[in-house]
Structures are given as C-alpha cells and as structure tokens.
Amino acid sequence: MLDQARGKVLVVEDVALIRMTTVDMLEQIGFAACEAADGPQALTLLRQDDGIDILLTDLGLPGMTGLQLVEEALRLKPSLKVIIASGYSTPEKEAPNGPVLYLTKPYDLPRLRRVLES
C-alpha cells in the first residue's frame, strides 16, 4: 500500500520504458506516481491534480523542453519540488528559478530515493 504522506510524483519522460521504470521505482519506495509523455500533457495533469507535490522531468522532451516545463509548472504551483533528470550536465545558469534538484541518468533506486528525500 502506498504511503500518501510521502507525496505524489509526476514523471515526465518521452521514452516509455524509462517512464514506466521510474514510476515502478517510485511506487516501490512508497510514492504515488502519475506520468506524462511531454510538457503539455504534464501541465494538464498539474492543473487537474492538486495532489502532485513533485515534478520529475527529463530535459529533452518533444515540443517543449524540460526547462520550459519547469518554468511553467512553477508558475502554476510555486511550492512544487522539482527534479530534473538528464544524461547531460546542466549548467547552473540554465536552471530555472526555484528549488531544483538534478538527477543524472541512468539512475537506480537508491539514487532516486536519495534525491527525493533530500
């Protein structure tokens, strides 16, 4: 059973296998999760679901970059915890305003847990 006190994570990843694996890992460590394949879908979910506490997004998304998504998501919900997952290094100057954590791909369950609990 999921511990709702841990929070709900919106996973935004265009690669279905990575998205499904991440959702599975989140549920294993007690987080509720929902998923989106791109930025517009993620923003729709953020508008519809007040229970989302954490945004975990890839940088390279189709149509809208992960950074653009983060900026818009923080406008909608300034209290959102944001984690950007990427296989590329992200210069600090490109980071949007707000509390943003970074997770380097590929990541495993212990690394995902650490960043979520930081």
The tally of domains found in the chain comes to 1
Task: Say which CATH number the domain at 38 has.
Answer: 3.40.50.2300
pLDDT tens for 65-96 read 999 999 999 999 999 999 999 887 654 445 55
**Containing structural domain, residue 105:** 4-117
Residues of the chain with pLDDT under 70: 1-5, 89-99
Please enumerate in sequence order all residues whose Cβ is within 8 A of that of 111, keeping only pairs 6 or more positions apart, or say none: 103
pLDDT at 34: 97
What mean pLDDT is reported for the chain?
A: 88
